[in-house]
Structure 1
Amino acid sequence: MAGRLTEKDVRDIATYARIGLDDQEVAQMTVDLNNIIATLEPITHYELDGVEPTFHPIGGLHNVMREDVVEESFTQEQALANAPKQQDGSFLIPAILGGGDQ
């Protein structure tokens, strides 16, 4: 199993994950992560060469996507038929960042 994590390792992980930790939190997180790693360490002793997986969440499915077939679509008029507001053949929506009058 990998060696123990240092406080520098935890700081690097926190920086990568964009998690702000103070010195006390880094110290506690270092202890916690090392305890988790120690708890999982026994699974590294199992001999798993040649053992086939026994479960897969989607079973024997290989391709769950339908064929990509071109089909008739809405016309622009049909798409805009129930739009509360439209302008120049497009949906007109309220501005959310300011600067617009709608």
Structure 2
Amino acid sequence: MTQHVTEKDVRAIAEYARIGLTDEELPQMTQDLNAIIESLKPITEYDLDGVEPTFHPIGDLSNVMREDVEVPGFTQEQALSNAPLQQDGSFRIPSILGGEA
């Protein structure tokens, strides 16, 4: 099998990606990465002369999000209108640590 990446390359990639590889894992990871790269070799055999690069599979994709426009929100009274418990203009919820609700 062709060696595309060395143990030194794999160690550098692991450090860059902040992956902790031990000295025992390094040879196996190097072998695995070389096998993965080798499995992609048939892709290089396609005749791609005249094929334009595609940067997005959908083509000319535009932002479909709406403009971020500020709109009036609820008043404090509206927000609290359906609250089962209120106290001093705020929602009152049961204590999760025990004690009073």
Q: What is the TM-score when the length of structure 2 is the normalising length?
A: 0.59
- Using the TM superposition, name which of 21-30 and 67-76 deviates more: 67-76
Aligned to 1:95: none
Q: Work out which structure has the larger RCO, using CA pairs closer than 8 Å and 6 or more positions apart in sequence.
A: 2
Percent of residue pairs identical: 63
2:50 counterpart of 1:50? yes
2:64 counterpart of 1:64? yes
| 1:63 partner amino acid | N
CA distance in 1, matches of 2:74, 2:47: 58
CA distance in 2, matches of 1:37, 1:14: 17
Structure 2 unaligned blocks of 5 or more: 92-101
Residue 14 of structure 1 deviates from its aligned partner by 1.1
Residue 76 of structure 1 deviates from its aligned partner by 5.3
Count of aligned residue pairs for this structure pair: 87
CA distance in 1, matches of 2:87, 2:41: 62
Distance 1:33 1:85, change over 3 A: farther
Q: What is the TM-score when the length of structure 1 is the normalising length?
A: 0.59
Structure 1 segment 1-102 matched on structure 2, within 5 A: 4-51=4-51, 56=57, 61-75=61-75, 78=78, 81=80, 82=83
- Using the TM superposition, name which of 29-38 and 61-70 deviates more: 61-70
Residue 24 of structure 1 deviates from its aligned partner by 2.0
Structure 1 unaligned blocks of 5 or more: 92-102
CA distance in 2, matches of 1:16, 1:85: 52
